[in-house]
Structure 1
Amino acid sequence: MNMMESIVEDRVSPEDLRKFEAKYLSALKNGFVPPTTQFDYSWCLIRSESMSRVREGVKLLEDLYKKSGENDEKRDYLFYLAIGNTRIGEYNKALNYTEAILKVEPKNSQSHQLHEYITKRRNKEGLIGAAVAGGAAVAVLGGLIGLGMRMCIL
């Protein structure tokens, strides 16, 4: 497993998820969520087993990105947005995020590695999807041929 795969495939412990969720919800209840609290919780959500929670984490990161005025923060949010979107199979969005980083920081090696990983994963899943679709088409065609032969016999 390479470094980017280990980052994308990393999972949050249930204890950490509960801890950061409690901290986030408490801040939300008090009327102000510090960006670090929102980021920590969103990073936990992105590493969750639940795809709906990963999507929730992506939304929280998108919100942070929109509110941030700092370039370093924006870069970090884009990086983690790329990871989150990769986890939910939104590869084109994920690649757009890595490309946005690379436009500003063309020598950012982590973003290059993540971009390469996402591209390979998208291509691999595309091939698997094509094979499944091809197999289904063969099965349907076989069924139609069988039905046609049966009709000819009758």
Structure 2
Amino acid sequence: MLVDDLLREASDDHGLKVAEQAFKNELSSGKPSADATFLYAYFLLRSKESDVKLGISLLSDLLNGSGSSKEDKLDYLFYTAVGHARLKNFDLALQLLDGMLEDDALNDRAKVMKEAIERRIVQEGYVNKGLIFSIIGGIAITLATAFMRLR
């Protein structure tokens, strides 16, 4: 899967429901496993905004828990960055990825995600600027038309 897809792709409802049910089943009998929690968080991150926030919270719990391998913690950190990017918390997402790259400068996944987020920031910046200029242009035309009618 391309990292750009992680930033825009939505979960399929079936996958989310299956992961949620597995998580809730384990939760009802005690503490859910890291695997069930991660899978549920993964699908939440690719859903609506409130779900993304819950996914980030679950990943944060996994990061703060003990017993996870370094590789697992890197996965949790990476997907936390993805979640923040999906919420447009780009600064925080980039900080998390920079932290991963400080630890391992050869982490290609973090590099590629960082580049994708930086592209997204530029794209959204241009879209926002274009929207602002369109609104200003529309107001200017409206005012000019109104002024001409008053003459």
TM-score surpassing 0.5?
yes
Where does the alignment leave 5 or more consecutive residues of structure 2 unmatched? none
1:64 aligns with 2:80: no
Aligned residues: 150
Deviations 1:8-39 (A, max 9, x none): 34443322211110111122223312222111
Q: How much is the aligned-residue C-alpha RMSD, in angstroms? A: 2.1
Partner amino acid for 1:123?
Answer: V
**Inter-partner Cα distance in structure 1 for 2:58 and 2:51:** 11
**Inter-partner Cα distance in structure 1 for 2:29 and 2:139:** 58
Partner amino acid for 1:33?
Answer: P
| Superposed counterparts of 1:70-149, under 5 Å | 70-149=69-148
Paired residue secondary structure (2:11): coil
Structure 2 counterpart of 1:53: 51
Identity of aligned residues (%): 25
**Inter-partner Cα distance in structure 2 for 1:17 and 1:64:** 19
Paired residue secondary structure (2:38): helix
TM-score normalised according to structure 1 size: 0.84
| Superposed counterparts of 1:31-42, under 5 Å | 31-42=30-41
**Inter-partner Cα distance in structure 2 for 1:130 and 1:11:** 26
Deviation for aligned residue 1:105: 0.6
